[in-house]
Every structure is written in structure tokens, then in C-alpha cells.
Amino acid sequence: MKKIILIGFFLMVIALIYNYYPEQKLPANSNVDLLVVQKSQYKMMAYADGKLLKTYKVSFGDAPIGHKEFEGDEKTPEGIYFINAKNDKSGYHKNLGISYPNDKDSAYAKAIGKPVGGDVKIHALKNGIGFINKFQRWINWTNGCIAVTNNEVDELYASVKIGTKIEIKP
């Protein structure tokens, strides 16, 4: 029994270290001009003038494989979009809006008789549960958005301007 308690304690310490160990920060005063998301790798890269500044570990919607086709499919869109909004009064700490749907997305959803949806964001954790921090990366939990930690969305919010291109790849 003592071994089980000791192992449990050891695992809890490791988990806490993982969750709160500092990671590389986006360089101060960065002007991110491109975001590239690799869904299959759960990564989002931030670039300025063609130079990679930082790679983020991200999570997605409950059904991350494939392009978003309609509202409620829990998928993250794929393709070229733009950051079209910034919200520091979000229910999810802060967020950056993604310009989904485009004309092609809207036409497809209409053709299959489904609502296209919208409100796809890069966002952090729901207000009040920021302590989850990096543990949010362990599962896909959004409704089709791209999730980062509260600290990460803070630095993106400061460094990404409205109109910044975001390329989301499978």
C-alpha cells in the first residue's frame, strides 16, 4: 500500500511540474504576420518576416480530423483564413477570431442543407479554470476552435494584428 501511495505522490509531483514548468515565450514586441497550424501534429507556429518565432502545442474540437463542414461537427476548419477579431472580454480568457466561414465554406454547407456555423477562435481556457493550464492539451475539448493556455493567448493577443493570415493544414 505504501508503494502505491508513493507512486501516486510521485506522479502527482511530475504532473504539477509539467503543468507549471515555464516554456519558451514569444519574443517581446513580436509582430506575428503568419500563423500556420498543423492539425495532425497539434502544433501552431507563429512567424514574423518568414522567421519561426515560436511553436505552440494546441488542442482542437472533439472531431479534429477533416475540414469543418457545418455547425456542430466539432471540426476545426482547414485552409487559409485571417484573424478578424480580438476579444479580451471573452468567456475563455481572451480570443482571436478566425475568418471562417469563407464563401466556399458557406456554399458547401448550403449545398448539404446544414448551417455553416462560425465563431471559430484561437482561445484559452474558460474563465475561472486557468489552473488547468497545459493539461488542456491532453484532450480535444473545443467545439472546433484552436485552444492554447491563458499565458499563450495573452502573448498572441499582444503580437497578432487583425488581418494576420492563418493557414490551417490537415
With 0.85 as the threshold, say if the pTM is over it: yes
* pLDDT for the residue numbered 18: 80
Active-site residue identified among 75, 94, 123, 137: 123
Query: Phi, psi (5° rounding) for residue 163?
Result: 100, -10
C-alpha cell of residue 149: 493556455
Would you state the pLDDT for residue 12?
A: 81
At 6 the pLDDT is: 76
- What are the CA-CA distances from residue 56 to residues 25, 44, 45, 105 (Å)? 10, 5, 6, 26
**Higher local confidence (pLDDT), 35 or 29:** 35
| 143 is annotated as an active-site residue | no
Model confidence at 21, pLDDT cuts 50, 70, 90, reads confident
Is 67 a residue of the active site? Answer: no
What domains can be seen in the chain, in order of their start residue? 32-169 (2.40.440.10)
**From the candidates 124, 145, 147, 148, which is the catalytic residue?**
145
